[in-house]
Structure 1
Amino acid sequence: MMWNPTTEDPGSEVAFETLLDWRRRVNHLYARVHSLLPTDPVAAHALWRAGRDELFAQHPQSPLARQARLGFQGLHVWRYDPAFAFTAVIQPVEEQRLEVLTSTGAPMPLVRFGQVTLPIGRLEVFWIDVYGGGVFIPFRDATSGRVTYGGGRYLLDTAKSADLGSTAGGELILDFNFAYHPSCFYNDAWSCPLAPPGNVLSVEVCAGERASPVDS
């Protein structure tokens, strides 16, 4: 999640315009991925990787600092593994308002309103309780702090269009092959909410983005 408005020139009109363009491009990318996913998930994954690589390498709102973009050769991502592709219905739970820490130590308000039960564990589902809102599923797993970011990764963040949609039957598409690091993993100028204690999986989720290029 990009919590700061820009990495280029905070508060400037040009920076906010480029942020708008970034979000539109992400929205378009995920729409294309969603259309391809049911028939060819490997191709959908390749499209997602290529689209994100292009944004990170070229866009003014890239989480990468300008210097880091010069030698950028692509994000490190595991090969597509269908064993980590799931669908699930959101099971309602008693609503709970809470504040989670961000990477800069500032609190961010969330509302826990549901949970999903997957073959690899259970995750709580949150509503981002700020203007506009959005459904948010961050997580940590047994790779966190070793081959992925210790603060966790994001599985679903509708506020930023990182959403693979739902099945015809209404189940959420929760495919960990599209899990990604928050922007603060790449640049500490960004402030990103960290996965709360209730969203820690005991298994290794060797899918999605990772920190190193091994087996990518």
Structure 2
Amino acid sequence: MKSRNILILGVLAVIAIAVGYTLTATESPEAYLEKVEKERERQFKYLKYNIESPLTELQKKELRALEHYPIDPKYKVRAKMVPVEDRRMLELPMTDGSIEKYLKHSWAEFEWEGKTVRLLLLQAAKEQDKRNFFLAFADATSGSETYGGGRYLNLRQDGKNSITIDFNLAYNPYCAYNPDFACPLPPKENIMEVGILAGEKDYKK
């Protein structure tokens, strides 16, 4: 077989593998819903049964379910990561008046309802895996349908310059369940004017 034919076959094989990977890696709507539901169930079980749960024993006994918005795939967005120019440690205020330090790492930029949204991605001072990020945000639902102190997302960079933000996985900080816990408040950069109708709703005692 001529070397040119071998090269062509090799290229075709690589294309076939790439296409096959794309097809198998593409998540079906059913699989996506199941993944989000499993994460919500994991969160519920942690709060109800784990010894490190912020809930009191009485709260654990009375907890029947966590309230969430219906799962909506449109709230799963792909964002471009833009490095922060003045990358430095940020002193984030806590609900008890203390502060906690996070690195201002990158902006997560994405289009939402015809507008460009920029959210600040933070990294814990002691974070060893540099692909892990923390996103604390508040939106138009904060203080009404969702916790007034904002909600959180734990994110992992999954592209060279991109990251997936799935607001369906947004969860409440510990202080939403128990005021004895101190939680970081969202930075001013992450206070959104729009309502994010996804993720966990406010905890009802």
**TM-score interval for Structure 1 and Structure 2 normalised by the shorter chain:** 0.7 to 0.9
How far does residue 89 in structure 1 lie from its aligned partner after superposition? Answer: 2.7
How far does residue 131 in structure 1 lie from its aligned partner after superposition? Answer: 6.5
The 1:132/1:106 distance shift into structure 2, 3 A limit, reads: farther
The separation in 2 between residues aligned to 1:152 and 1:37, in whole angstroms, is 31
Partner of 2:118: 122
TM-score (normalised: structure 2): 0.76
The one of 65, 83, 96 equivalent to 2:74 is: 83
Query: What are the within-5 Å matches in structure 2 for residues 68-147 of structure 1?
Result: 68-94=59-85, 95-120=87-112, 121-130=117-126, 132=128, 135-147=133-145
The separation in 2 between residues aligned to 1:37 and 1:108, in whole angstroms, is 38
Task: Note the residue ranges of structure 1 that are not aligned, 5 or more in a row.
Answer: 1-35, 157-162
- Please provide the CA RMSD for this pair: 2.2
Q: Report the count of equivalent residues.
A: 171
How far does residue 125 in structure 1 lie from its aligned partner after superposition? Answer: 1.0
Q: Which has the higher contact order (CA 8 A, sep 6+)?
A: 1
The separation in 2 between residues aligned to 1:103 and 1:185, in whole angstroms, is 10
Deviations 1:34-93 (Å, cap 9, x if unpaired)? xx9933211111111111111111111112111111110111111100111112231112
Q: Could you tell me whether the CA contact under 8 Å between 1:110 and 1:128 is conserved in 2? A: yes
The separation in 1 between residues aligned to 2:60 and 2:39, in whole angstroms, is 19
Task: Note the residue ranges of structure 2 that are not aligned, 5 or more in a row.
Answer: 1-24
Partner of 1:155: 153
The one of 174, 179, 187 equivalent to 2:165 is: 174
The 1:188/1:43 distance shift into structure 2, 3 A limit, reads: same
The 1:104/1:139 distance shift into structure 2, 3 A limit, reads: same
How far does residue 164 in structure 1 lie from its aligned partner after superposition? Answer: 5.9
Q: Report the 3-state secondary structure (helix = DSSP H, G, I; strand = E; otherwise coil) of the residue aligned with 2:78.
A: strand
Q: Could you tell me whether the CA contact under 8 Å between 2:44 and 2:66 is conserved in 1? A: yes
Q: Could you tell me whether the CA contact under 8 Å between 1:97 and 1:112 is conserved in 2? A: yes
The 1:88/1:106 distance shift into structure 2, 3 A limit, reads: same
The 1:92/1:165 distance shift into structure 2, 3 A limit, reads: closer
**What one-letter code is carried by the residue in structure 1 that aligns with 2:111?**
P
Partner of 2:202: 211
The 1:190/1:178 distance shift into structure 2, 3 A limit, reads: same
Q: Report the 3-state secondary structure (helix = DSSP H, G, I; strand = E; otherwise coil) of the residue aligned with 1:69.
A: helix
How far does residue 165 in structure 1 lie from its aligned partner after superposition? Answer: 5.8
